[in-house]
A and B are shown apart, each in its own frame.
Chain A
Amino acid sequence: GDSVTQMEGPVTLSEEAFLTINCTYTATGYPSLFWYVQYPGEGLQLLLKATKADDKGSNKGFEATYRKETTSFHLEKGSVQVSDSAVYFCALSDDYKLSFGAGTTVTVRA
């Protein structure tokens, strides 16, 4: 079945550092790919998405490119802030089901 593997955390960074969270997927069809973010004590929010190969999703300074050849959807941000501290989930959607990665906890220190 469809599955997502993402980089294990936790990840601790200083403000203004570069952030990368790796995500690879296995799917039989042509899924849509998502990054969700969960801030402490809250539910999940969509951060960005890409619906076909070579699409780039972007939001709040975060970017991820749908790479079919490497089955990847790595999340990047060039300069993180303390407010980016959260758990980040990579996910794929094939029809109406979402399959999630295990989540990566990111802590940004001032």
Chain B
Amino acid sequence: NAGVTQTPKFQVLKTGQSMTLQCAQDMNHEYMSWYRQDPGMGLRLIHYSVGAGITDQGEVPNGYNVSRSTTEDFPLRLLSAAPSQTSVYFCASRTPGPQETQYFGPGTRLLVL
């Protein structure tokens, strides 16, 4: 049971480039989320999904797209990278219900030049 996995661990992009951050989980969780972590701001929700085929925007969705074709995978796409997207990105998954624990991946550190 690998839990939540993310690739790559680190990426450098130039402004305007696009890329996809991969996230996968093997716990059969319906709920998956993407967060970004910036110094002094905690984690902010980018997009989330409550099941395959269903996605919605979080707190800071601009500049990012997501899709959820399977229960296991939840990729995050940067359409045209900007320096403001330099951050650490975390994917998380959980079972339904507000009492349930979210499980986080190890993170992807992204630097946009």
Contact = CB atoms under 8 A, between A and B. Distances in A.
Given A4-B42, A31-B98, A96-B33, 11 more contacts: A43-B90, A43-B107, A44-B90, A46-B101, A51-B99, A96-B94, A98-B33, A98-B45, A100-B43, A101-B42, A103-B40
Interface stretch (A13-21, A77-85, A87-95): A87-95
Interface residues of B, number: 25
Which residue of B33, B41, B43, B94 has the most chain A CB atoms within 10 A of its CB atom? B43
Contacts, number: 58
Lowest 8 CB-CB distances: which A-B pairs, in order? Answer: A100-B42, A43-B104, A44-B104, A100-B43, A51-B99, A102-B42, A43-B106, A93-B98
A44 B90 CA distance: 9
Contacts of B52: none
Contacts of A45: 104
B5 to A, nearest CB: 11
